[in-house]
Structure 1
Amino acid sequence: MRTAVFRETPLLIGIVALIGLETTTVLDWLLLQPALPVLTGLGLLSVLVLLMARGVAHHADQLAERLGEPLGTLVLTGSVIVIELALIASTMLTGDSNPTLARDSMFSVLMIVLTGVKGVTVIVAARVQRQGRTQPMQPEDLAAVNQSGSSAYINLITTMSVLALVLPNFSQDSLEANYSLPINWLLTFVSISLYAIFLRGQVGRYRNLFLDTAQQQTSGSLSLADSTAEAPTPPDEAEGSILKNGALMAAGLLVLVLIAESMGTLIETGINDLGLPSSLGGLLVGLLVVAPEALNAFQAAGKGELQRSLNTLYGSSLSTLCLTVPAVLAIGEFTNTDVILGLDPLESVLLVLTLILVRPISGRVSELDGLMLLTVGVVWVALQVVS
């Protein structure tokens, strides 16, 4: 009981902090201070957000075990995309006009997830796989990935990345790096339709493509000895656990969204005071957005469940592309706000390189695969700082 209460302490502190930010003038006072107090406040809120993200990841992990894969990770993916859409929508509706906001946000999430988080996840899973082995690794000893499911994810991520972030630079029907209104509506329809079809297949007919090898072998075939060895969880207790974890995860995400909005203002002020590149703000906000999913992926990789980690990461990238693009295009159209989708040439090259590296060559991965992704991520971050 004490452990459960202690685990929810960050959420309680977050609620208190949120009430203080919303009902007092402490945020306005902090924004008028020099850089050091602003960065101190930002650091404290960042620590709180990370602790809350850890709690969200725990409840998502519990839901994944109760609901099974891949439905379990879809719950976290769907919840986290709400954070991103809320941040972008609130900035577009109330903040200064920034036509590249959605583009920078999507690109930041993709690079953080596909290079940094996946790189660490692959390294952790590979090390777990080789624990206790004294002989040289053989191909069959490497961390296993369901190649069919991963390829389906990456094919769709690649398609939407090129259509939404690269191809607009070469479009002839608009003066800016964007499409004309009819093509934008077509892109919106395609994004939502592909995502809906993909989700239907993922939780339905093609569910086994998103399970790891061990889960496929045991799916739907339990022996009598296994079924009688342990008493099943009562339906009421299982349903109560799902509702409890779902409610706590939703509460944590809601508080995270509202605190992250205040942090966005602090990030912008701190960057301006220190004379840092404005693109660094998108990187910091992106880190806050993906924190719950990143921690959930690390936890799964630490248990050797690489496929569940990849389902979380690829699902986050795919939902970012398929849901954020229609949302920002609609908001831009209804509010007469300019939206630029096409990436700069340097970013386009990094995106293409990332999509090549994440594509599975075989059903096995090693620490070297993760190291290459981390290298690209470090170079991208360095370019954000010095640009």
Structure 2
Amino acid sequence: MTHPALRYVSRWYGWIPFAAALVLAFAWGQALGTIGVLLVSVSLVGAVLTAVHHAEVVAHRVGEPFGTLILALAVTVIEAALVVSMILSGGAGAAAIARDTVYAAVMIVCNGVVGLCLLLGGLRHHVLAFRVDGTSPALSVLAALSVLVLVLPGFTTTTPGPTYSASQLAFAGLMSLVLYAAFVFVQTVRHRDYFLPVETGARDEHAAPPGNGETALSLGLLLVCLVAVVGLAKLLAPVIQSGVGAIGAPAAVVGVAIAMLVLLPETLAAARAARANRMQTSLNLALGSALATIGLTIPVVAALSVVLGFPLVLGLPGKEMVLLALTLIVSVLTLGSGRATVLQGTVHLVMFAVFLFLAVVP
């Protein structure tokens, strides 16, 4: 008889992660032609879809909100490694890579992902229900982190420009880590019930949780998928950069495109949960990934900046600060009642379109 692990790996969600990893290994450091770009793109899409499958298997086994937290942490840790590697490699705009990536991730998540989930869920279920006790704490932490990391550096006077001094940067990184750790403690231990799905009758009671062996395999394959997603996205970055240069768009558009690619697994998982009328799960994924992006990426980058001495630009320009403030205000209004419809989804998607348009046409 075939070993259960071999049967698992022989299925599409078992072999695609290894296929994507092989494409990444062979394509790494090579010049991509037309066929290479197509192969990397197909592998990227396959890795994203497979990552969503394995994330749902793990989430079903460990339950909410641990499942969504695992995906958010896994994606963000690898995203932080990608940001650090791009900073250390140098090049034009390297000092602002962390800022541009974090800002883009917050705007993509809070407007693009949340808006898409509200629209898809609202079209199918009309009125979506979620727990204010879970969304309000997440938004309060997100607002504090966003201002601390992306706004205040433009108003401090110890150093010129939108930067922190070494001591200020270390303090901001430590406070970001403290805020994120406190949120995770509340989400998973002290007030876990605030983040559990609202009873809507749409829960999959008929599906038995997977066993420990299947869960362990899915967790390992999820990590393989996420590494492949980030690596393949980095391989496509020069192609995207060439396209951005061809249309005369700002260099920051490359960071936006890469952030969208890296966030694809969470976006698809959140959208599927919204269509299944599990809006709380969608919001756990969306807001949790935005919090993890700031709460984990910035402390790592800040520590390396202090130790290695490379410059780090954090403060946003005026236009981006206005869009960030508008996003936070609308998010509070949208998620502050515990109920939402397609109208709120449309508002967030319009703001996401504004963000993308002004990134290309500043």
Q: 1:305 aligns with which of 270, 278, 285?
A: 278
Q: Quick check: 1:335 aligned with 2:331?
A: no
Q: Distance in 2 between matches of 1:116 and 1:145?
A: 18
C-alpha contact 1:144 1:212 (8 A) present in aligned 2: no
Q: 1:372 aligns with which of 331, 341, 347?
A: 347
Number of residues paired by the alignment? 351
- 1:153-182 Cα deviation digits (max 9, x unpaired): 000000100111011111122212122222
C-alpha contact 2:23 2:43 (8 A) present in aligned 1: no
1:265-280 counterparts in 2 under 5 A?
Answer: 265-280=238-253
Q: 1:115 aligns with which of 79, 94, 111?
A: 111
Q: Distance in 2 between matches of 1:270 and 1:10?
A: 28
Q: Quick check: 1:77 aligned with 2:83?
A: no
* Structure 1 position 264, deviation (Å): 2.3
Against the structure 1 CA distance between its residues 82 and 29, is the aligned structure 2 distance closer, same or farther, given a 3 Å change threshold?
same
Q: 2:148 aligns with which of 150, 163, 168?
A: 163
Q: Distance in 2 between matches of 1:56 and 1:15?
A: 13
1:44-63 counterparts in 2 under 5 A?
Answer: 44-63=39-58
Q: Quick check: 1:93 aligned with 2:93?
A: no
Q: Distance in 2 between matches of 1:111 and 1:270?
A: 22
TM-score normalised by structure 2 residue count: 0.90
Name whichever of 258-267 and 291-300 sits farther off. 258-267
Q: Distance in 2 between matches of 1:13 and 1:330?
A: 35
* Structure 1 position 274, deviation (Å): 4.5
SS state of the match for residue 213, structure 1?
coil
Against the structure 1 CA distance between its residues 231 and 279, is the aligned structure 2 distance closer, same or farther, given a 3 Å change threshold?
closer
Name whichever of 239-248 and 146-155 sits farther off. 239-248
SS state of the match for residue 161, structure 2?
coil
Q: 2:20 aligns with which of 9, 14, 23?
A: 14
Q: Which has the larger radius of gyration?
A: 1
Letter in 2 for 1:238: G
SS state of the match for residue 204, structure 1?
helix
* Structure 1 position 120, deviation (Å): 0.7
Against the structure 1 CA distance between its residues 70 and 29, is the aligned structure 2 distance closer, same or farther, given a 3 Å change threshold?
closer
Name whichever of 43-52 and 296-305 sits farther off. 43-52
Q: Distance in 1 between matches of 2:9 and 2:223?
A: 20
* Structure 1 position 232, deviation (Å): 7.4
Letter in 2 for 1:16: L
Q: 1:124 aligns with which of 98, 103, 120?
A: 120
Against the structure 1 CA distance between its residues 156 and 92, is the aligned structure 2 distance closer, same or farther, given a 3 Å change threshold?
same
* Structure 1 position 63, deviation (Å): 1.0
2:4 alignment counterpart: none
Q: Distance in 2 between matches of 1:4 and 1:124?
A: 33
Return 5+ residue gaps in structure 2 as ranges. 1-6
Identical-pair percentage:
32
Letter in 1 for 2:172: L
- 1:121-143 Cα deviation digits (max 9, x unpaired): 0111222323xxxxxxxxxxx21
TM-score normalised by structure 1 residue count: 0.85
Letter in 2 for 1:56: A
C-alpha contact 1:86 1:257 (8 A) present in aligned 2: no
Q: 2:269 aligns with which of 296, 299, 308?
A: 296
Q: Distance in 2 between matches of 1:369 and 1:146?
A: 16
Against the structure 1 CA distance between its residues 268 and 335, is the aligned structure 2 distance closer, same or farther, given a 3 Å change threshold?
farther
Q: Distance in 2 between matches of 1:74 and 1:124?
A: 22
Question: In angstroms, what is the RMSD of aligned CA positions?
Answer: 2.4
Against the structure 1 CA distance between its residues 180 and 231, is the aligned structure 2 distance closer, same or farther, given a 3 Å change threshold?
closer
Name whichever of 355-364 and 345-354 sits farther off. 355-364
C-alpha contact 2:51 2:225 (8 A) present in aligned 1: yes
